[in-house]
Amino acid sequence: MADFGMQEVLKSLGIKEINEGTSTGSNWFSGGELITSYSPVDGKAIAQVKTTTNKDYESVMNAAQAAFKTWRLMPAPQRGEIVRQFGEKLRELKEPLGKLVSYEMGKSYQEGLGEVQEMIDICDFAVGLSRQLHGLTMHSERPGHRMYEQYHPLGVVGIISAFNFPVAVWSWNTALAWISGDVCVWKPSEKTPLCGVACQHIIAEVLKENDLPEGISCLINGDYKVGEFMTTDKRIPLISATGSTRMGKIVARTVGERLGKSLLELGGNNAIIVTPGADIKMTVIGAVFGAVGTAGQRCTSTRRLIIHESIYDKVKRALVDAYGQLKIGNPLDENNHVGPLIDIDAVGMYQNALEKVVEEGGKVLVEGGVLSGEGYESGCYVKPAVAEAGNLYDIVQQETFAPILYLLKYSGDVENAIEIQNGVAQGLSSAIMTNNLREAERFLSHAGSDCGIANVNIGTSGAEIGGAFGGEKETGGGRESGSDAWKIYMRRQTNTINYTTELPLAQGIKFDL
């Protein structure tokens, strides 16, 4: 087991040295091999989780399908009450769960707490939403007829989440799915399985206290092969998957072949445009947090800074100065700005990207490198790097999940900057720093940013749960969290009611007997 003061944290969250990784609620079981979760903070083993076998999975699906028959018949506000209670449990356990997120994933403790707050916020949002799952009424062309649309639960929703937000993204999906009347099966990342075990313990307690059936919230664990249990399963009408574009294409193809629905939140190659009239201080704060927060491992992390040539050198100097103030180290120490990458493989991708940008003709302004010595024993700590690059460099066109920021120069008006920003395959988050109203509105117009998120005078990273979250192009096109994202977790039905003694047909068709 881990040290670092984590023993009490693990105990409070129900984590043991060896954990069953399959659950239908309060029922825990697993027949598979063990996954060892290593912390990137110190490289030490935290605990182990047993993986889910095909037999285990069938038990999960049987429980989920049975639970759906009960859960869907509860009035939505009553389902919302269960979600409210879950949010209260999260408030009670915010500190230990936030600390586990920080230690198992490697993000700062403040970001770990923020991630649990996102869970609490989406619960609050879902509770309100449970009383306003609205349909639509329209006029019929036939006398004495009424037409309307209503929404029904889908059934079992499969959730595949990534390591970088090991608890929040699950809650975005499951809170909305639950109030919609769905039940959920979750496969967390095999890199952060303990966060999944902890969350399942929390919701299982709520379900047990309310005497609800096993199967409303289910957990499975393992690598991509366990994920394939769900993606190929016709009993799961919707798969929500977060991860790389490569993974998303596989999921979309597999689910599409069985005519299922997929909600994909994939890669981002996010940019901030910096115009001549931008507030430089705000720009630097937004860009640096966007680039180095979570060690550059957010899907909304800032990868590219597109700066007008008239202020390019000024912004560059300010960035270099700011990077010189960054503190890298144990993320549980709140004096540090940057924690580790998730594992050694991520470090390798970081190193390859820095080599590639130089090979393509770029210039490194803030040197990168892997840190070693006391406090860096895990081998996962790297220096945030800044490089001048060309927009068409192959490495700039890709998403590297690491703290590397590319500086790009533009000339002329803002249309040229928007063209550079949009000239990548991904379309998640974007931002413009400007005090010019025309530039801001141009950026937000039909001919502006092609991303799912477009911000003015804030960075690309950090989203509130009230707005729908997701992107376009190779980001996947799905939307999670706020706004009307609930609709994807339900099926739409059109109803026509005839309250007369006649049976007129639509379009004036005559059919007399």
Catalytic residues: 265, 299
Q: How far apart are CA 156 and CA 276, in angstroms?
A: 51
- Closest C-alpha to 316, from 408, 196, 453: 408
Q: Terminal CA-to-CA distance of the chain, rounded, Å?
A: 79
Tokens representing residue 21 in the block:
């990784």
Give CA 39 to chain center in angstroms.
Answer: 21
Tokens representing residue 313 in the block:
């050198």
Identify the burial level of 309 via C-beta atoms within 10 angstroms of its C-beta, where 0-12 means exposed, 13-18 middle and 19 or more buried: exposed
Contacts of 305 (CB under 8 A, 6+ apart): 271, 272, 274, 287, 315, 319, 405, 406, 407, 408
350's enclosing H/E stretch is helix 344-359
Alpha helices in 106-192 (DSSP H): 109-129, 168-180
The residues facing 160 across adjacent strands are 187, 241
Backbone dihedral angles phi then psi of residue 187, each to the nearest 5 degrees? -115, 100
Q: DSSP labels for 4-38?
A: TT-HHHHHHTT--SEE--EESSS-EE--S-EEEEE
Task: Say if residues 187 and 220 touch (Cβ distance below 8 Å).
Answer: yes
Q: How far apart are CA 21 and CA 49, in angstroms?
A: 5
Contacts of 246 (CB under 8 A, 6+ apart): none
Backbone dihedral angles phi then psi of residue 358, each to the nearest 5 degrees? -70, -40
Tokens representing residue 418 in the block:
């928007």
